[in-house]
Chains A and B, each alone.
Chain A
Amino acid sequence: MHSNITRRLSVLLVLIAFFSCGLQMSSASAEEAVLSKKGQPIQWRLIWLTDPATSATLSWSTTIAGKVHRVHLRETNGETKTLVEAQRNGRYSGKSPELYYHHAHLTKLKPATEYHVTLESDGKQSPEMFFMTAPAEKVPVSLLFGADSRSGHKERRLMNAMLASMVAESYQADRVPILALAHGGDFILSGDRLDQWSRWMSDHELTVGPEGRLLPIIPTRGNHDFGELFNEVFSFSAEERTNYYALNLSPEIRLVTLNTETSVAGDQTHWLKSELEASRPAHRWLLVQYHKPAFPAVKPPWINLTHWVPLFEKYNVDLVCEGDGHNIKRTPPIRNMKIDPTGVVYIGEGGLGVGQRTPKTSRWYLQPPHAKTGSDHHVQLLTFDKEKITYRVVLLGGELFDEHFLPVRTQGNSGVGLRNAE
């Protein structure tokens, strides 16, 4: 098993070296190169906010307002091309650089289907790219989780290239496909700075591999992502103030995205309660992502420790993904503020570019052998099958840092969600 992983990671290392060749250019000059494409579609991204089996949002930018913005869409094995007009177009808030957003919401897609897309703005086209919709069948899938790409621009670009490599490799035969990147927030330093968002969007192009596969992103608002631009970049409506939502990655996997930057104790907690109440019985795997940690490895806990953690425990959430701390963290299962095999595991803390901190391993929930912590640029790879979640931490460069298995929960006599084999 372990040698198999080592072999795969070696392949990954080679792929990373190959794809990183284009990263010698600095982030700033790469940004200039992107912005010099006058009127052309640039800074493309595929966003999942609702039902990824049947819908997705394709977003891109242009340096001039333009008039006609649309997507050429076709199934990989189909002949028919469909034209989808971008429903929302406008200028990003902020004066510099002059940039315009375009959001085309694609609906009525077929599950587990590959679609080829070309973005067009006033006759100028992007390269052809493609993406896969989420499955409607109960099949094994993978998800990337990462956070904190607000600084360390060089590492951010390298990490994006690595994500592209990992995704490309995951679609090889006998592998479990990576569906999307759940980003735990803090994309940039100052959320009201368009120049910083522009640089992030340009860097995000690197998550598209050379073969053109788009990596869907499921965004979370972080404390640095304040302001209107977050909504404009990720196609939320201008009036959106909540930025919390839930979607199915497959019929078995429910991902709940929360927002630690709006009121935690108010309406969001009521929404979370009803969401977990409804989704727990209907899904084998229940995940939550948000930015500020309830069980932090470096910083003090956020108020969600009081308001959300009791709900996670009540509804037996399988895995909680957190950002903000700039380190690597996996806690033991926690219930009632102590280690409990029936409890909830908290992972993450963010390493998509940002400089890394030293975890405070004296905290009771971070002590080995029950917990694992570290400090390195990384992404978490979560693979879901019928029996377990396989949790892996992949460092920048492809090295495997941590591997852990979370068996599926079964309902015990007490009603508490026990885990098989525990």
Chain B
Amino acid sequence: MMAMLVKEPPESSKLWQAMVWTLRITVALQCVGNWRWLAQIGESPLLSWMISPEDVGGMRWAEATGLAVQQAIGWLALGAGLCVLLRPCAAVLGPLALLQLLIAVAMWRTGYGYPPQAAWLSPQLAALFPLATQSARIAAPLALLLLDPWRAERPLSPHRIRLAMGLLLGGTALVFLSHGIEAWNHYPVFIDLLISASGQLFGIALSQSHAEAMLSIIGLLDGLVAVACLFPRLRGVLWWMAFWGGITAISRVAAFGWDPTWHGAAIRMPHLGVPLAVVLYWHLVRCKVIGQQIQVSKAESAPSPVTPLEE
């Protein structure tokens, strides 16, 4: 446990502000993507869950009702995105986190997304895989709720900050681990993404076998960084995760064109924003530690009671 002498609350620093605004912009873009997806395009696991019959785990709503509810949610998400930029608050961020969780549950209930298969993994457990792939999208609004609350007592308690960082880090690790598993298993959507993007961007006719070889490497790397990021202070790993999360988010646009895929990139912004927020915070901690050491060395005095900023 790293203990530090902190007189000023961390919220006053530029790095803190950069971290909070990273999360705000991330969640706002996520909201715009959700608006486009739910209110404009209209087809989502959420709708499928609402209108599917009970015999397959659905809610058996009428299609028109499901569409109306989904559209309303989409427009509310857009409004929430605007609120997040102006003034994040629990009334907005709580429902946003719940929406992301609901989408993950809908994916689980309707069999959307990649189905991992392994002899040791029961179908019931495998069906929960979307909760892992969606974890950063759920964590982003929740962490922002903890780190940038309206009318909360300042400075924020260390426990609160630790919890937020744990959510962001856990979300990032799960996203990279689950996507690493998909890549390692040569998820066909990823194969087509690589083939299409290499054709569109570089004019290269990538063969399927080469795409699969690349995915094996990507999968391995994703798995390694998912584990490595859980070790504190490996900032290079987090920078890589932010970079790679951003690349993969926008790769859909590169492969399949701006419309109708841009919302997919916006929804995946937490894959960039969440690790970026964590690494900014780690830089803040490091700056504080160095500043503290300089102060201590100058004063050559005994430390006063400690305030833990981070583990």
Chain A contacts to B: CB under 8 angstroms: 94-95, 150-153, 189-193, 223-224, 226-228, 261-267, 298-300, 303, 306, 355, 357-358
Q: For B51, what are the chain A residues with a Cβ–Cβ distance below 8 Å?
A: 355, 357
Q: For A151, what are the chain B residues with a Cβ–Cβ distance below 8 Å?
A: 52-53, 55-56, 58
Could you name 21 residue pairs across A and B whose Cβ atoms are closer than 8 Å?
Answer: A94-B123, A153-B55, A190-B123, A223-B111, A224-B111, A227-B117, A263-B188, A263-B191, A263-B195, A265-B192, A265-B208, A266-B191, A266-B195, A266-B207, A299-B43, A300-B41, A303-B192, A303-B196, A306-B256, A357-B51, A358-B64
Compute how far the CA of A153 lies from the CA of B63 in the bound complex, rounded to whole angstroms: 19
Does B208 contact A152, Cβ atoms closer than 8 Å? no
Given the known interface contacts A150-B56, A153-B55, the answer about A192 and B196 at a Cβ–Cβ threshold of 8 Å is no
| Residue interface bits B175-207, CB-to-A below 8 A is 1, else 0 | 000000000000010011001100000000001
- Residue ID in chain A nearest B122 by CB atoms: A95
Q: For B117, what are the chain A residues with a Cβ–Cβ distance below 8 Å?
A: 192, 226-228
Chain B contacts to A: CB under 8 angstroms: 41, 43, 51-53, 55-58, 63-64, 110-111, 115, 117, 122-123, 126-127, 188, 191-192, 195-196, 207-208, 211, 256, 260
- Residue ID in chain B nearest A268 by CB atoms: B208
Looking at B51, B55, B207, the one whose CB has the most chain A CB atoms below 10 A away is: B55
Q: With A224-B111, A228-B117 given, can you name 15 additional A-B contacts, CB distance below 8 Å? A: A94-B123, A189-B56, A189-B57, A190-B111, A192-B123, A192-B126, A263-B192, A263-B195, A264-B192, A265-B195, A266-B191, A300-B41, A300-B43, A306-B196, A306-B256
B212 to chain A minimum Cβ distance, whole angstroms, is 8
Q: For B122, what are the chain A residues with a Cβ–Cβ distance below 8 Å?
A: 95
- Residue ID in chain B nearest A195 by CB atoms: B123
Does A226 contact B55, Cβ atoms closer than 8 Å? no
Does B52 contact A266, Cβ atoms closer than 8 Å? no
B232 to chain A minimum Cβ distance, whole angstroms, is 38
Given the known interface contacts A300-B41, A355-B52, A357-B63, the answer about A190 and B192 at a Cβ–Cβ threshold of 8 Å is no
Compute how far the CA of A261 lies from the CA of B188 in the bound complex, rounded to whole angstroms: 7
B67 to chain A minimum Cβ distance, whole angstroms, is 9
Q: For A261, what are the chain B residues with a Cβ–Cβ distance below 8 Å?
A: 188
Give 7 closest A-B pairs by Cβ, nearest first: A266-B208, A151-B56, A263-B191, A192-B123, A265-B195, A265-B192, A189-B56
- Residue ID in chain A nearest B52 by CB atoms: A151
B295 to chain A minimum Cβ distance, whole angstroms, is 58
Compute how far the CA of A152 lies from the CA of B208 in the bound complex, rounded to whole angstroms: 37
Q: For A263, what are the chain B residues with a Cβ–Cβ distance below 8 Å?
A: 188, 191-192, 195, 208, 211
Partner among A192, A299, A358 whose Cβ is within 8 Å of the Cβ of B63: A358
Q: For A298, what are the chain B residues with a Cβ–Cβ distance below 8 Å?
A: 43
- Residue ID in chain B nearest A152 by CB atoms: B53
Q: For A190, what are the chain B residues with a Cβ–Cβ distance below 8 Å?
A: 111, 115, 123, 127
Given the known interface contacts A189-B56, A300-B43, the answer about A267 and B208 at a Cβ–Cβ threshold of 8 Å is yes
Compute how far the CA of A261 lies from the CA of B113 in the bound complex, rounded to whole angstroms: 11
Q: For A299, what are the chain B residues with a Cβ–Cβ distance below 8 Å?
A: 43
Compute how far the CA of A298 lies from the CA of B123 in the bound complex, rounded to whole angstroms: 29
- Residue ID in chain B nearest A301 by CB atoms: B260
Compute how far the CA of A298 lies from the CA of B53 in the bound complex, rounded to whole angstroms: 18
A10 to chain B minimum Cβ distance, whole angstroms, is 31
- Residue ID in chain A nearest B126 by CB atoms: A192
Q: For B111, what are the chain A residues with a Cβ–Cβ distance below 8 Å?
A: 189-191, 223-224, 226
Compute how far the CA of A201 lies from the CA of B191 in the bound complex, rounded to whole angstroms: 32
Compute how far the CA of A224 lies from the CA of B109 in the bound complex, rounded to whole angstroms: 12
Compute how far the CA of A189 lies from the CA of B54 in the bound complex, rounded to whole angstroms: 12
B107 to chain A minimum Cβ distance, whole angstroms, is 12
Partner among B41, B110, B115, B256 whose Cβ is within 8 Å of the Cβ of A226: B115
A277 to chain B minimum Cβ distance, whole angstroms, is 18
Partner among B56, B115, B260 whose Cβ is within 8 Å of the Cβ of A192: B115
